[in-house]
Structure 1
C-alpha cells in the first residue's frame, strides 16, 4: 500500500505525552518513508469544519522540545459525537458524512487517531462508515483502554498522584489527621490503586470493589493500635457511597461530572473515627504538565509503530504495550471496551498483603 499522505488527530481529554506521540509519527513518516503528514486540529472537528482546519507538519515543527510539552499542540475535543452532534438550537444532527467528506477533501490516505476507549469507538465507526484506513494509539490517564498495559498519559498522572501522597504524609503525621486524596480515573481505579500501593496508603477505594465505612474505620483503628497517629486514604473519583449512590455534579447542559466522594468520606469519617480529616482533590493537575520519562518513551514507541503498521498495510488496528514490548491488536477488540482493575488481580492481592483496606469482595 503506497501511502503518501497521512493524517493524525488527538481526540478526547488531553494528557501528558500526546505531543511526543505526534512527534514520533511525523519523524517516522517523513524520515523513513518520505510521506507528508497533516495534523488535524481539534479532533474530529478539524475535518467537519469548512474550510478544513489542519496543519501540514515538517521536521522544523517537531523538535525535541515537543517531548516536554503537556497537552496537545493540535487541540482536542471530548464532546460532540458526530453521529449525534448537539446544535445551537438544542437539536441533534448526524454530521458523520461531513467528517468523511473532509477526509476525502484533504486527500489523505490513512488516519492515525490518538484517543481513549470512547474516541476509539466513535472514530472507528466514522472510519468504517467512510472506508477510511485507521490506526489507533491509546491515550488516557485512566489507563482503561483494553488490550494494552499502558496508555499515553497514565504514567505521568500516576507520578503526580504519587508525589501528592508523599507531600500529604508528613502533614498528616504532624497534625494527627486522616488525609484523603481524591484522584481521577472515571469508572476505574488504576490511578488510585497504583498510587496508593506506591505511596503507602492505609485505605484505597476503587469503583471495582465495594466498601463499608465500618471497614475503613476498622483499618484506621488498627493503624492507631500499631502506634501511628495518622492515616492516608486514596479514593478514585468514580467511587460511589457505601450504599451505591453516585457522587457527582450536573454541569450546564446536563453533563454529569465526577467529583465529591472525598468530601463525602471526610464528613462521614470525622464523626465515625473521631479524627480531624482533610481532603485534597487533584483533578486536572493529573492531566497537565511535563510528561514523565516513561510517558515519552511509550508515546514515542507507539508513534513509530503506528506508522510502520500503515506502511505494512496492517490497518484497522491499535498499537499496544504488552509484556514489555510494543505490538498491535484489532480495533474491534478495543473500541468501546473498558479495562477495569481486577479485584482478584496481583495488584489488589499486593494491597491486601500489605494490610491496606481496599474494600470487601463478595463471599463465594
Structure 2
C-alpha cells in the first residue's frame, strides 16, 4: 500500500498533526506514505517527499504545513487532471489523502466520482464552514488568537477612550467573529448571516458611553455586508483559481461610520493572516491527530471516496460528495445567545 497526501488551500494550525497521524497509521498497516508539495500542484508536477514516522515524529507543535500549499485548481484544465491521473498510476499511488477545505476537497471528490481515483478527504479550515463535520481543526487556534489580540487591544482602547473595530477572517461564515466576540466580551458583532444594523450598533456604543464605559470593542467578520446594495467589501476584483474574491476592508468602513455617527474616536485593526499562523492549540493538535489516524486507516484499508469527520466526540467517515458544496454557516442560536450582551 502506497498513500499520497497533500495539503491545499489556506494553511492553518493543525495540518502537521494530521500529516503525522496519516503517516503513522499507514506505516502501522505496513504501507508507505509520500507527501505531495504545494497542494494540487504537487501531483500535477510529480513533486513529493518521502514521509516516515521518524521524519514526522516532532511536527505536531508546528504551525502551517511541512508540505506547503497552494490554491491550484486542476479541474479548470482537463490536461492537468490527466497529469494527476498519469502520475498516480506511474508512481503506483493506491490512495490520495487530500487535506483541505471545500475547494480542495471538491477537487478530490471530482477526481474520485468522475475519474475513479481513490481519494480520502480530511476537513480543514479556520473558518469552520465545512458541512458534515461538527468542527474543523484550525478553528480553535484561530479564535484563541483573535481573543488574545482583542485582550491586548482593549487596554489601548480604554487608555485612549476609543472604540476599536477588529476585522476577522471567516469569508461568508461568522464562526470566528461570533466566538471571538463572545470570548472577549465585545460590545457588538457583525456576521455575514445577518444583515448589519449599523444604527443598532451605534446606539449600543453611545449607550455604553453614557453608562460609564469609556471605550468599545466591535468585532466584524470580513464577509459581513453593510447594505445589500453595497455588496461585500473586497480588497480586489480579481478572483483566485476557485473563483473567490479577496474579502477585506469592512473594518475600516465600520470604524468610519462609528466615528461619524457617534463622535467617538475610533480605530480599526485587521488581524488578517495572524489568524492562520502559529503553533496549534492542544485541541487542534488532538483533533488533527485523530482525523489523520482515521484517514490513514481508511486509505490503508482500500476505502475511497470518503471524508473523515468529527461527530460529537467520535471520528466517523462520510461520503466525500456529501461533505462539499454546501457552506456551513454560523448557528444562529449561538448568535442569539451572544445578542443578550448587545443591548
Q: Tell me whether the two structures share a fold, i.e. TM-score over 0.5.
A: yes
| TM alignment of 1:285-300, pairs within 5 A | 285-300=274-289
Cross-structure match for 1:54: 48
Write the distance in 2 (CA, Å) between the matches of 1:326 and 1:183. 29
Write the distance in 1 (CA, Å) between the matches of 2:277 and 2:258. 31
Write the distance in 1 (CA, Å) between the matches of 2:32 and 2:300. 13
Partner SS state of residue 54, structure 2: helix
CA displacement at 1:337 relative to structure 2: 1.6
Verify: 1:350 aligned to 2:316, yes or no.
Answer: no
Cross-structure match for 1:198: 183
Partner SS state of residue 61, structure 1: coil
Cross-structure match for 1:361: none
Partner SS state of residue 134, structure 2: coil
Write the distance in 2 (CA, Å) between the matches of 1:244 and 1:227. 36
CA displacement at 1:68 relative to structure 2: 1.4
Partner SS state of residue 240, structure 1: coil
Cross-structure match for 1:89: none
Moved over 3 A (4+): 251-255, 311-314
Verify: 1:271 aligned to 2:263, yes or no.
Answer: no
Write the distance in 2 (CA, Å) between the matches of 1:278 and 1:115. 34
Partner SS state of residue 146, structure 1: coil
Partner SS state of residue 96, structure 1: helix
TM-score normalized with structure 2 length = 0.94
Write the distance in 2 (CA, Å) between the matches of 1:149 and 1:244. 33
> Which residue of 34, 40, 46 corresponds with 1:38?
34
Partner SS state of residue 113, structure 1: strand
Structure 2 unmatched runs, 5+: none
Verify: 1:81 aligned to 2:73, yes or no.
Answer: yes
Superposition CA RMSD, Å? 1.7
Write the distance in 2 (CA, Å) between the matches of 1:28 and 1:84. 33
Structure 1 unmatched runs, 5+: 86-92, 358-364
CA displacement at 1:34 relative to structure 2: 1.4
Partner SS state of residue 183, structure 2: helix
CA displacement at 1:168 relative to structure 2: 1.1
Cross-structure match for 1:320: 309
CA displacement at 1:199 relative to structure 2: 0.6
Cross-structure match for 2:23: 26
Write the distance in 2 (CA, Å) between the matches of 1:53 and 1:125. 21
CA displacement at 1:60 relative to structure 2: 2.3
8 A contact 2:196–2:224 mirrored in 1:
no
Verify: 1:183 aligned to 2:180, yes or no.
Answer: no
8 A contact 1:162–1:198 mirrored in 2:
yes
Cross-structure match for 2:90: 105
Partner SS state of residue 193, structure 2: coil
TM-score normalized with structure 1 length = 0.89
8 A contact 2:3–2:300 mirrored in 1:
no
CA displacement at 1:129 relative to structure 2: 2.9
Write the distance in 2 (CA, Å) between the matches of 1:45 and 1:185. 25
CA displacement 1:253-287 (0-9 Å, x = unmatched): 78731110000011111010110101111000111
Query: Bigger shift: 140-149 or 93-102?
Result: 93-102
CA displacement at 1:139 relative to structure 2: 0.5
Write the distance in 1 (CA, Å) between the matches of 2:180 and 2:142. 9
Cross-structure match for 2:292: 303
Partner SS state of residue 172, structure 1: helix
Write the distance in 2 (CA, Å) between the matches of 1:256 and 1:58. 38
Distance 1:20 1:206, change over 3 A: same
Verify: 1:72 aligned to 2:65, yes or no.
Answer: yes
8 A contact 1:84–1:94 mirrored in 2:
no
